[in-house]
Structure 1
């Protein structure tokens, strides 16, 4: 009874050893992929922030106390809209003083100069008549020469006084330098006073306000910041290694962290001409037009910039590639059940897949792990693994032992 059991156990042991030997000869089971041709999109993924095309900073050009603040954050303003009003009593007094000086010139000083001119001209006429009369009398020897000389001297003095009065009246005439100077002083005083009314110079949205009634403000202090109306942009710092694949006009898909279910398109419109040496990054700007109504300044946005596309490309998963150097890499290809190290040439590179332009073809089999524990020529069996979608992990594998026996 015991003999058949011993024989049975011995046979099973022999079969187990034989099976193990056969399996060893066939090689280990390793995950692998069948190379296929499919559409491929190469993207650069990064995070940026919403930024206005430009911002205008509004400050006070004069020192004064804030009387009114007429806008708040989020208000939309147009050029000329009043943002705040300051009180500056010294500037108002300077305007009144300039107005008084101009009024005095027009209503008092100028009429007085004109009256003085008329009086001087009358005296000159009287002196001229007297001098003429005395010449006649002296010619008839009715007066002494001294009397004639006195009349001529009086005429000369009257003529000089009349000339001075004429010059003074001319300097005070309308449009002449004296009035022009007075008007310029008045305009200057009014311009200084107008600076106490702070107005928007551009159309846009008020982002910040740093002024409240009662605040003393001085030149150099930023009171309001306005985002100019125009295309919204997304500012994105990228690793400088991406410069090679970037180009103006490339399309991008953006997703605001606050609204992950509402992606929106953008377009690459600017690449900085220099690289930040501290971060090793280059800034790019994506134009968003029209901008979604939910975007806010400085909002965090994830962006995928499409830098290349192939409608049909021979692709392999990125985890199957090793020794990547520029457009060269290596992978394990399985040919007739044996592992072969293959050098390949790379093309477009996606998040999970990379285009291979030379080295393997659609239908070839490769190992999923570029660092698989095999040597050149080793026998292996492939457990088929589905190619990953962009950003996905490989699917569960199934063994295909018959393919490479």
Structure 2
């Protein structure tokens, strides 16, 4: 095959040059690239206002008054008439001791009283005779004085024996333990057949005078509480069952193990569902000083520190500002430093922003 080289003529070069100039002219007239669109964000204008928080603690319902019933004398328990959970009324029999010794004591005291009364009658008769004889001059003053002393001794002896009989009868009565007020048995300390000492707890009674919600409160929370706080108490398992309460008693000394203070909250007209031993939740509103709160969604991180995005109202751009977080919960964040009243804070879309970015406020006039 015959290969021939095509020579570049001047006319062809001129044509190529003109075509290149046309292309360059077309490039010079292209429109500039469009500016990036402003990102829509939700914002809030912050202001200082009084702050506070709700503190919730768990506790139990207890009787306002709990008493330990015990025998006043020693003895062997022959009967316990109640068990834990029983309701009792005033003067109801709780337990009984063996009565034999006390019954013997009563019989002996009665015999002593009879003997003392007989001696007293004889002394009175002798005194009367000596008095009449002294008036008639048929006895001496010495015998009269002796009859007087004998009468006084007999009277004292009769009083003493009567007092011993009363004590013996009281001891006999002490062999029966009875409730002094209506209530519920919450604990028992002895069983029939046991020999008990005076003062040992036989049963514990929760009186029906009132109900307390008892909480173990840390020291820092106790110090934050107002002077006369009002507590809202609800059943943990049934939050709809609610009662109001007032602090009735605060332990003066912390528990040696937990370091908490026991606080008793008197319940005002508690519902029947708040039974003894029920687990309850107490809520207390603790007021704080003035501060700035923002939604938790506004919080982000800049240079390993908490920060929020601030909108410049004039330029509609954002900048990252570090803040000090005082308190954080799932819904709100309390800011200590970094924000002032009137700052516009981005609350939604914070993860997609960059410093100096244009934004469009949702709901605002464009």
Q: How does 1:276-291 map onto structure 2 within 5 Å? A: 276=255, 278-291=257-270
Answer yes or no: is 1:52 the counterpart of 2:34. Answer: no
Q: Relative to structure 2, which stretch is displaced further, 246-255 or 57-66?
A: 246-255
Residue 55 of structure 1: how far off its partner (Å): 1.0
SS at match of 2:110: helix
Q: Which has the higher helix share?
A: 1
Residue 355 of structure 1: how far off its partner (Å): 5.2
Residues 1:123 and 1:265: Cα distance change in structure 2 (over 3 Å): closer
Residues 1:365 and 1:125: Cα distance change in structure 2 (over 3 Å): closer
SS at match of 2:355: coil
Cα contact 2:236–2:279 (8 A) shared by 1: yes
Cα contact 1:65–1:88 (8 A) shared by 2: no
Answer yes or no: is 1:331 the counterpart of 2:307. Answer: yes
Answer yes or no: is 1:182 the counterpart of 2:161. Answer: yes
Q: 1:69 aligns with which of 80, 96, 112?
A: 80
SS at match of 1:298: coil
Q: How does 1:299-314 map onto structure 2 within 5 Å? A: 299-308=278-287
Cα contact 2:91–2:178 (8 A) shared by 1: yes
CA distance in 1, matches of 2:153, 2:109: 19
Residue 87 of structure 1: how far off its partner (Å): 1.6
Q: Deviations over 1:312-347 (max 9, x none)?
A: 996313575699xxxxx963232243333254696x
Q: 1:110 aligns with which of 120, 142, 151?
A: 120
Q: Relative to structure 2, which stretch is displaced further, 257-266 or 93-102?
A: 257-266
CA distance in 2, matches of 1:203, 1:294: 19
Relative to the length of structure 2, the TM-score reads: 0.69
Relative to the length of structure 1, the TM-score reads: 0.63
Q: 2:294 aligns with which of 316, 323, 342?
A: 316
Aligned partner of 2:180 in structure 1 is 201
Aligned partner of 1:90 in structure 2 is 101
SS at match of 1:224: strand
CA distance in 1, matches of 2:192, 2:358: 81
Cα contact 2:325–2:333 (8 A) shared by 1: no
CA distance in 1, matches of 2:347, 2:160: 91
Q: How does 1:104-143 map onto structure 2 within 5 Å? A: 104-106=115-117, 108-117=118-127
CA distance in 2, matches of 1:368, 1:319: 6
Cα contact 1:248–1:270 (8 A) shared by 2: no
Residue 97 of structure 1: how far off its partner (Å): 0.8
SS at match of 2:83: coil
Residue 364 of structure 1: how far off its partner (Å): 1.8
Cα contact 2:58–2:282 (8 A) shared by 1: yes
Aligned partner of 1:140 in structure 2 is none
CA distance in 1, matches of 2:222, 2:127: 82
Aligned partner of 2:344 in structure 1 is 364
CA distance in 2, matches of 1:271, 1:223: 28
CA distance in 1, matches of 2:124, 2:194: 51
SS at match of 1:247: coil
Cα contact 1:56–1:226 (8 A) shared by 2: yes
Residue 36 of structure 1: how far off its partner (Å): 6.4
CA distance in 1, matches of 2:311, 2:157: 103
Cα contact 1:320–1:366 (8 A) shared by 2: yes
Residue 219 of structure 1: how far off its partner (Å): 2.1
Residues 1:125 and 1:91: Cα distance change in structure 2 (over 3 Å): same
Aligned partner of 2:241 in structure 1 is 262
Cα contact 1:64–1:217 (8 A) shared by 2: yes
Aligned partner of 1:389 in structure 2 is none
CA distance in 2, matches of 1:179, 1:262: 65
Residue 276 of structure 1: how far off its partner (Å): 4.0
Residues 1:188 and 1:335: Cα distance change in structure 2 (over 3 Å): same
Aligned partner of 1:134 in structure 2 is none
Cα contact 2:241–2:271 (8 A) shared by 1: no
Residues 1:340 and 1:102: Cα distance change in structure 2 (over 3 Å): same
